[in-house]
Chain A
Amino acid sequence: MGAATETFYSVIRRQGITRRSFHKFCSLTATSLGLGPLAASRIANALETKPRVPVIWMHGLECTCCSESFIRSAHPLVKDAVLSMISLDYDDTIMAAAGHQAEAILEETRAKHKGQYILAVEGNPPLNEGGMFCIDGGKPFVEKLKMMAEDAMAIIAWGACASWGCVQAAKPNPTQATPIDKVITGKPIIKVPGCPPIAEVMTGVVTFITTFGKLPELDRQGRPKMFYSQRIHDKCYRRPHFDAGQFVEEWDDEAARKGYCLYKMGCKGPTTYNACSTVRWNGGVSFPIQSGHGCIGCSEDGFWDKGSFYDRLTNIKQFGIEKNADQIGMVAAGAVGAAVAAHAAVTAVKRLASKREDADHNS
């Protein structure tokens, strides 16, 4: 069963490597690192006894695009991540076990690896109507999530759903879908936003945790700094066109064919933190801007509720009819200007009138 403690050594043996070769590897590693004569046995001991990090992967309200992305990772290959680096004990979408057998793994992991396992959550729990909009194994997902979070070492919030809420939390959010960090408190939460996140970013986060045995450094929003500290705009290969003032003015114009900046077409690159413009997608083949479409800001908070993907200035819905900052500002400034002009006119008339009065009075 998946929840049985498995060490790196047993994985290495399973992949057909002899114990003899394993010890050679440990000696060679110790020698090449310039460590003392005892180091080889210490390395061997660590690999033989250190369990692989158990991972429980749960699914709430989501579309499985995170899983779809994850299984396409090229560096490292997802098979290496799932079969060698971590011990993916539970993932209801891709696991062989089902029903009571699958549910038993959750209990087993919780008991056996208390405070040791990583809880990876794809999607988020809806809280409305007692959480009944997402039932998992006969229980509201939110209850299951809270139960598994209690004894987890850390939580990975996969994707925009778990990190921010995404489409199911877009206005008016009828199911009250809520991001993980608003439901679970008191546990370290790593947000890996994106819809979906980049495959290599996902496996990169997993690799970091298993290799170093600690969580990666996070930014203010709880995202790993190594992937989310810069905007798409900062590393965009079309950035020189932005600085030059060369923009696509409408779809399929000459500028679009020349690959100019998509800023005026509403590209959200300048407000979106992600690694798309450096890591790219599908093994580094391309990313949205490279294929001629602006960034829609899928790794940002509430990106469904920030107006059209194709507007530069955000629509402000609070004004009933959707208007952007310029339209509202111009109307307001126009009104103030008109009021000033009217006030000036009344002042002038009053002044003339009072002068005439004074003149009449004096004469």
Chain B
Amino acid sequence: MMDAIAPGSDGRPDLSAIAADAAGERAVGRPTVYVYEAPVRICHWVNAFSILVLMVTGYFIASPLPTVAGEASDHFVMGYIRFAHFAAGQVLAVFFLTRILWAFVGNHHSRQIFYIPVHRGQFWKEVLHEIRWYAFLEREPKMYVGHNPLAQTAMFTGFTLFVAFMIVTGFALYSEGMGIDSWQHKLFGWVFAIWPNSQDVHTWHHLGMWALVMFVLVHIYAAIREDIMSRQSIISSMVSGERQFRD
């Protein structure tokens, strides 16, 4: 898009180069940056869908639907719900791993959600600015090509850490059914060294679900709000990969 428009002397696109339509309405060229590469976007939406399925089915595993009538051999309600949960969990695990691998080969934006630059003072200053912006104490938001520092902090803790926790505890619980000779138990059985009674692991896994519900609420709200308020595209960026700056 940007390539089509020759930049003007101030580095901004030269809008006079763009044709007007029949009604004399001028097209507007906006600076756009390619941020989210295809694997990042695919992982985002697959993970989002998996998490949705996991939340709904997980809730119904803990609080099952009302009893179905008839012979046990005619039904498989819990079986299907649990299958969906296990399947979505493994899809999430695979795409979460893929996302981690992509952080090594992708652009620098793809690494953002995996760390917080705790040692950089400037980072924390900008986190503070973002907090002030959300507390209505700043009139103008700053613009960032990738995540703003507060968003990066939230993504790292609210998504990366929580989802990792859910994957680990999830596989540990799954290994109970697969047996102690399974690879799941060999890889994740150490969770039961921390909580010897798996009832506790169930409870933590369940609390983790609610933590992710909170993350999703804030994540979606912030995306919509910043799309409107920060004068830059957020939601469509996760579809096209491009971030557009509107002024």
Contact = CB atoms under 8 A, between A and B. Distances in A.
Interface string B199-237: 110110011011101100110010001000100000000
A234 B177 contact: yes
Nearest to B78: A245
A351 B141 CA distance: 13
B197 A244 contact: no
Interface in B109-136: 134, 136
Contact of B221 (A164, A234, A260, A344): A344
Contacts of B202: 271, 314
B75 interface: yes
Interface string A241-267: 111111101000001000010011000
A127 B32 CA distance: 69
Given A271-B202, A337-B217, A301 B72 contact: no
Contacts, number: 129
Interface stretch (B85-93, B163-171, B188-196): B188-196
B197 A271 contact: yes
A231 B214 contact: no
Interface in B64-94: 64-68, 72-79, 81
Nearest to B65: A245
Interface of A: 164, 219-221, 225, 229-231, 234, 240-247, 249, 255, 260, 263-264, 268, 270-271, 297, 300-303, 306, 312-314, 316, 324-326, 328-330, 332-333, 336-337, 340, 343-344, 346-347, 350-351, 354
A325 B203 contact: yes
Nearest to A261: B78
B55 to A, nearest CB: 11
B192 A340 contact: no
A327 to B, nearest CB: 10
Interface of B: 62-68, 72-79, 81, 134, 136, 139, 176-177, 179-180, 189-190, 192-193, 196-200, 202-203, 206-207, 209-211, 213-214, 217-218, 221, 225, 229
Contacts of A270: 176
A347 B202 CA distance: 39
B66 A249 contact: yes
B68 A244 contact: yes
Nearest to A240: B72
Nearest to A242: B78
Contact of B214 (A240, A249, A325, A333): A333
B199 A268 contact: yes
B68 to A, nearest CB: 5
A333 B77 contact: no
A301 B195 CA distance: 9
The 10 A-B pairs with the shortest beta carbon distances in the complex, nearest first, are A329-B210, A245-B77, A244-B75, A325-B206, A301-B196, A244-B72, A301-B197, A243-B79, A271-B199, A240-B72
Given A268-B199, A306-B199, A246 B214 contact: no
Given A230-B179, A268-B199, A336-B217, A244 B76 contact: yes
Given A240-B73, A245-B65, A268-B199, 12 more contacts: A219-B180, A221-B196, A241-B72, A244-B73, A247-B67, A271-B199, A306-B200, A326-B63, A326-B210, A328-B207, A328-B210, A354-B139
Given A245-B78, A329-B210, A314 B199 contact: yes
A15 to B, nearest CB: 40
A308 to B, nearest CB: 12
Nearest to B60: A245
A266 to B, nearest CB: 11
A128 to B, nearest CB: 23
A313 B77 CA distance: 20
A242 B214 CA distance: 30
Contacts of A316: 203
Contacts of B193: 220
Contacts of B67: 245-247, 249, 255, 260
A129 B180 CA distance: 40
Contact of A244 (B62, B66, B79, B203): B79
Nearest to B229: A347
A300 B229 CA distance: 53
B32 to A, nearest CB: 25
Contact of A313 (B74, B177, B206, B217): B206
B206 A326 contact: yes
Given A243-B76, A312-B62, A314-B202, A346 B136 contact: yes
A344 B203 contact: no
Given A271-B199, A303-B197, A244 B192 contact: no
Nearest to B206: A325
A95 B31 CA distance: 91
A337 B38 CA distance: 31
B214 A336 contact: yes
Given A241-B72, A243-B76, A297 B199 contact: yes
Given A271-B202, A313-B206, A245 B177 contact: no
A336 B73 CA distance: 43
A303 B66 CA distance: 28
